[in-house]
Amino acid sequence: MENFTKEELKNLSIGFVVIGVCLLLTGIYEWQKNVWAGTEDTDYNVYATFNRTDGLVVGDRVRMAGVDIGRVIAAKLDDDFRATLTLSVDSDILIPDDSSAAIISSGFTGNKYIEIEPGGSEDFINPEGEFVYTQDAMVLEELVDRVISIGKANRKKAVPAPENLENKSEITE
């Protein structure tokens, strides 16, 4: 060490640090590979077709009874311009074949996810099978428009006609 200059010692120590970091990253990678080994084989895919999936994206959760059981792994348009979603579901979860899939929002303006409502059938959706019953996403703007139109309709029913108002004022006087 006495034969090296300060600059050479600095470069040597940087080299050791870089080699150490590379070994550490390789170790973490190998550990993660072992942790996740075989998990990609434990899931199976099912399909759900919706008219609209507003706000739902690939990677969003699939839930049943409030428990995460999978993820949305792909989305594409079919020949009728409907959205067909590929859902990856945990292999230990069996979904009755009369179950329904609905796009739900977690909160008023929260993220969307797919909620599976299990049916009562004793038969199950096979891997690569499809949901027969689906419910599209509710668009917030449409919901607000519906509430406003219902409020306007109820207000028109509650307000008496002008000629009835004149008669009522004569009766009360």
Question: What integer pLDDT is reported at residue 122 of this predicted model?
Answer: 92
Q: Radius of gyration of the chain from Cα atoms?
A: 30
Both 61 and 103 in one domain: the answer is yes
pLDDT per residue as tens digits for the range 131-170: 999 988 777 777 788 888 888 888 877 766 566 555 555 4
In a domain, 69, yes or no: yes
Question: What integer pLDDT is reported at residue 30 of this predicted model?
Answer: 85
Both 33 and 46 in one domain: the answer is no
Between residues 146 and 173, the one the model is more confident about: 146
HEC-encoded secondary structure of 57-85: CCCCEEEECCEEEEEEEEEEECCCCCEEE
The span from the CA of 69 to the CA of 37, in Å, is 19
In a domain, 159, yes or no: no
Q: How confident is the model at residue 84 (pLDDT cuts 50, 70, 90)?
A: very high
pLDDT per residue as tens digits for the range 105-141: 877 667 889 999 999 999 999 999 999 999 887 777 7
In a domain, 154, yes or no: no
Both 10 and 66 in one domain: the answer is no
Give yes or no for a contact between 56 and 112, defined as CB atoms under 8 angstroms apart. yes
In a domain, 172, yes or no: no
Both 27 and 55 in one domain: the answer is no
User: Residue 145: left (phi > 0), alpha (psi -120 to 50), or beta?
Assistant: alpha
Which residues have C-beta within 8 Å of that of residue 125, sequence separation ≥ 6?
46, 95, 96, 97, 99, 131
The tally of domains found in the chain comes to: 2
Both 23 and 78 in one domain: the answer is no
In a domain, 118, yes or no: yes
Q: How confident is the model at residue 11 (pLDDT cuts 50, 70, 90)?
A: very high
3-state class (DSSP) for residue 124 = strand
- Domain residue limits at 29: 1-37
In a domain, 51, yes or no: yes
Pair of tokens at residue 164: 């009835």
Q: Specify the pairing of strand 112-117 against strand 133-135.
A: unpaired
Both 32 and 86 in one domain: the answer is no
pLDDT per residue as tens digits for the range 13-48: 999 999 999 999 999 988 887 766 555 567 899 999
